Amino acid sequence: MSIIFLLGFRGNSVDWEGGILKYQKTVYQALTMITQFGVNMLVPIFLCSFAGMFLDRKFGTDIWMVALFFVGALAGFTNVFRFARRIYETPAKTRRRSTQIKEEMEENEKAEETTQIILSLQKQARASGELSQENIDADEAAAFEAV
């Protein structure tokens, strides 16, 4: 019961701006992941070792336990490798909110710069009497290319 509580718990952290962020990967999830690495490694080793001991007792030999131990170790390393590869291949779903806010602010600043360039070009065109829809469209295209 307590394990289910720990796995479902989401911890809080304070970022440098003072806001509270909820991370998808908490300490408990990291501990769960470490435990999964251990289980993925140890279970095949124990199962193969016990199967080898059973075969050794049944046939009166001494080689099966050693051979199946190495088979279990190989299977365990394969499981851990696949698990780690799956973790690192998945894109990060969570990012710090402060990073997302910074990126949004940069995008907004670029859009504002583009708007200011367009307005200044239209103002110049009005002043010179060259304001037409073709000129406005060309100015907008030039402003977007500049940014």
Q: What is the pLDDT of residues 104-127, one digit of tens each?
A: 888 888 888 888 888 887 777 777
Residues 98, 13 contacting (CB under 8 angstroms):
no
What are 37-46's contacts with CB under 8 Å, separation 24+? 37/80, 37/83, 37/84, 40/76, 40/79, 40/80, 40/83, 41/76, 41/77, 41/79, 41/80, 42/76, 43/76, 44/72, 44/73, 44/75, 44/76, 44/79, 45/69, 45/72, 45/73, 45/75, 45/76, 46/72
43-87 residue pLDDT tens: 999 999 999 999 999 999 999 999 999 999 999 999 999 998 888
How far apart CA 49 and CA 8 sit, in angstroms, is 34
Judge whether residue 20 has pLDDT over 60.
no
Residue 139: both structure tokens together: 């100015």
Which pTM value belongs to this model?
Answer: 0.47
pLDDT for 28: 78
